[in-house]
Structure 1
Amino acid sequence: MKSPTQSNELRVLVDTIEALRDENCRLIEEVKVARRSSQITADMVVEQFSKLGAYHERLEDQVRVEKDLRNSLSDKLKEGELRERELDLARSAAEAANRTKSTFLANMSHELRTPLNAIIGYSELLEEEAADMEEGTLVIPDLKKIRSAGKHLLALINDILDLSKIEAGKFELLPEFFDVELAVKDVLTTVLPLLEKNNNRVELTCAPDTGQLKADLVRVRQCLFNLISNASKFTEDGVISIELSRRRGETRDWIVCRISDTGIGMSEETLAKLFQPFTQADDTATRKYKGTGLGLTITKRFIELMGGDIVVESTYGMGATFQFELPANSEAKMSAAAAIESAPSTAEWTLLAIDDDPDVLEWLRRTLPPEEFHVITATNGVQGLQLARQHIPDAIVLDIIMPEMDGWEVLSALKSDPVLCEVPVVVATLYENRGMGFALGAADYLTKPIDRSLLVKVLERVCMGDGAARRVLIVEDDEAARETMRRTLQENWHVSVAENGRLALEALDETDPEVILLDLMMPEMDGFEFLERIRALPRWSHVPVIVVTAKELTGAERTILQSQTEKIVEKGSYRRRDLLSEIRRVTSNRRRALAAQAALEV
């Protein structure tokens, strides 16, 4: 492309050449006129032709200059085009390198997490089996060490992969609403072994208006885990204080989390390089505190990615205080109580308790494990039947002696209802008439006062249902992962397996699964194509699918999966009982949905 200066120079040359040509034509006309009028002498003719020759020389010089300028411009244009082509090639190479790096990170995530998943899974299985053996006490401590080492290695791999993705600009956040106090309490449960090991005490205070936050819950939990575990690691026989609050800004609110400890503290030199990768408070060769030095680096990067900031204050020998702020969302200013009430239950089963004694209902709410049972209550039979039709619970605990409508009438109404007749009912009463209870269709009969452990066992049994009739299909190409999941489920489920999506499609009609556990990265047909195929089949369009994968998902992939599956579980990050709970939860939800649909059709 010509520059403005070059264009002006060329325009001046053209104008000059045109002027010379005009002058030449004028002189020729003068000669012709002079000849015709016989007023010109030979000397004048010579003089005129001499001038004409000089003009011709100047004209030729200008033409040569113009030619040289055109050649120069052409060369520069070629150089510019060449540079532009080189830039295009460099840009394409950089984009290809980024794609290669992203593919490498995804593949490394899968290749590293898959064998670790087998190590952690088998160690858990062996722990449970060893507990039933006489020699179990000898090997269980070693198995716990294997599992702990596997989880530690998995955490390290996750940190390295996360840092690589952040530096490559490939990290995607998945914001959602969640209660901040509940998130902190959840993390404290995970960190509890380290707190107990160092004999530390935790003090948690939460301002009443803290409420909810819209952010990436997984990453916020990771930041909290890093900061709280660090505080506990560098503190012994001390106190770790966690303060949560909401700060009102001019344009937005901020959620503030302040974590203080009474540990070893840090020097100014350490503080200056604290958030650099692979840097630790004690980085000497004989350091007492182990770790990679990645936790705080990743914590800072995550907080900044979510629009927040983190600061630290510390004096050597006097503990440290980390404080981070994250922007809250104006829609999230509900109280913690409201958040709990509106949030969907994550319990495995929904239990309806019908009893006219409020103390009994409160005891049931408080005594049953919240991770297993979501308890809804009714104080009379009429209300109980209404709630049963509204929620279609997994089980019902029913008192007999109640005013207006007693338990026998409620039980008869439940068993004559085509939608509710399959819901197991456990009678819990002071009235001793087991024969009547079983004759009317009760699943079990307990006499008050009720033993808590017995009640939990009975409810787990009736909610679990007939294990032989419960069918699960595992679609997984890795043999070790397939086997650990099969052994985890075989006690209560009829388990079928398939090595890839194609074989799973062929096995659907024969296995008739209630739930599918699906890997994503498989030969012949991967998990994404399998999902697309079954969702196009009317019979299988709504079968619950739980994705169990080691693949590093992009935001687009996660969005697709969230719309087509019930849960996405990362290999190696779940405990066996968590997987069992999740399977029971999704199948229970599915059964209730089918029952509700049947109720509408009645």
Structure 2
Amino acid sequence: MLTQLFQIALRNDRDVVQARQKAREIAASLGLDNQDQIRLATATSEMARNGFRYAHNAKVNFLVSLEPPKRIEVVVSDSGPGIRNLDEVLAGRYRSETGMGLGIIGTRRLMDEFEIVSSAEGTSVRMSKFAPNQGLSWNPNSIQEAVRTIQRRAPDDPFTEIERQNRELLKTLQELRSRQEELELLNRELEDTNRGVVALYAELDERADYLRRASELKTKFLSNVSHEFRTPLNSIVSLARLLLDRIDGELTPEQMRQVRYMESSARDLQEMVNDLLDLAKVEAGKIRMRPKRFDVHELFSALKGMLKPLLADNTSVDLLFEDASALAPLHTDEGKVSQILRNLISNALKFTPSGTVSVRARSIENRRVEFAVADTGIGIAPEHYETIFKEFSQVENPLQDRYRGTGLGLPLCRNLAMLLGGEIALQSELGRGSTFYLTIPSVYVGEAVSTEEGESLPAPEFHRMPVLYLEDNPSEAHYVEASLRETEFQPILASTVAQAELWTERHTPAAVLADVYVGEEQAWSFIDRIRDRNPGVPVIVTSAHNHARTAYDHGASSFLSKPIDRERLLSELRQLTPARGTRRLLIVDDNEVSRYVLRQLLSQPWLQISEVGNGTEALDALREGLPDAIILDLLMPDMSGFDILRTLRSRPETENLPVLIYTSKPLSDQERTQLENWGAAIVRKEDVSSRLSALPFLDWIRTSGINPQPSGEH
């Protein structure tokens, strides 16, 4: 709703000057800064002068809107003959001897909103300036007070106004000159920096190429060795079966026992070789996903049949599959899901002397499904939660001697779960059993969307938030893609409305960024459909023209003028998607090498890492702003990690802050118990040496239970 402040009839040059004065006074009274006051006054003066000079019955109306977006609005109208060639004027192609048209183009650049309508009956120009800080101080009382103040003020004479205008012009020129000098200085600094960056990139490329070759050689070695092992192992198993089937005669009982041992050992080695080969494929990115539609209850039936031989060896354990017939079909790699569940169930059966192993599945939020494998077996102590997910690592237990495994099954399961876009979690208590949770998307998100034009839009990455960008200008699209490349957001670029529609049918974006004009089309209908289908998805509209009002009318969450500013774009995205934004991690360690290793291992687009070298700096950093999690060393010069953790747990704002102890200090039982009572997880420094061993860190950070703060300053 618009509230009228003043109206001025333009009968002579003095009225034009008065219109300029009123525009500046209104802007100053309502809190606009000096630059915006000058812009509003200049735009009003230019349009008022046009109306007075080229038409008749011209007038200026000053209005204010208290509804979002709050703004000062100026309407200049007349009853003249209208503006010929208006389209050419607005496009910047029209030139006249009087210079008419240049003022309109310049005025449009000064204002946040600008609309002009012209016909033979007259011309109307509507232009707006948005309120600073969302107009927090604007209310009916403040507006009325501003009007009364302006009414009490006597108008200046034209000479005073011209003198003020000249001072404003000189001040603006001085600011421009100062900015030009700063820009020249910055350009010189950037040239020096660029030379250093080029040299650094060359060194990094050389190092990356070396690491790539080393990784390829490792994968090739594992693959070749695994394949070479398979042939003799298969031969050993086949020969053992021939002997056990008595093809060449009877065996003594002792010989039967020896051959069975041979076959069992060969099968264990064969299983380890298969797991090694699968791990090598995962690390090399050569695992091929084969998604298809399948029912969970049919998968459970197949697993029940495959696992019957294990039940025959342990009749004191019942394997129960809960009914999953009501669960909606999944569209993912059934083989990989089956492999993970088969491994989890077989482990549960091995380490459950008696009782039950139950398997269930249920749908959860965000179109995901959760599988749970629960047993009543020996359980796992909390300090061993991460040990079992390390390659070749096993927990010492009397049952381990009976079921000696490879130590590769669970690491492989975790990697396969990540490939499916999911994760594996563990809940266990020593002596009371364990429950492993596998959570994956109901629809495999690793499938790209192919368009009719033969282009391919990528699938969402499970560790980044997809932002669909509808833009047909390649340079604009490339700029946004580069702006989001090293952030928590994944840009999905669609050059047509049809491509955007096709992608949103398969996937749900975290946010939509849409240009108004896409080829010969406008994006308003697409934006309306997005708002109808996914009302929770924020939509940001962009345009070189000011379509803010129309964008908000269509339900947009924000409007950005082109060219898009990178920091403004990131700020808007992070404010509109606060629950899934960047997680902030604080590393507290006096050892610079340890901090460097953690930074390298934990480098993720969605993770913002800061670090300090001692406890005093850590407490100072916490006073400036709370992170989402802390990795804390115990041995430091000024205060120990125990002292820091004790301080954290004594304060209400940090009593539940997730803390992971990362130390090389041998812990006594009393120290370990104290840390666990304080709710801290523990990882030894010697156990962390590779990207794979860093996965538990990332899982702990991601599932720490604290949502990132909705800040645009990450």
Q: Which category describes the TM-score, using the shorter chain as reference length?
A: 0.3 to 0.5
Higher relative contact order (CA 8 A, sep 6+): 1
Q: Report the TM-score when normalising by structure 2.
A: 0.32
Q: Report the TM-score when normalising by structure 1.
A: 0.37
- Structure in which a larger fraction of residues adopt helix: 1
Select the structure of larger CA radius of gyration.
1
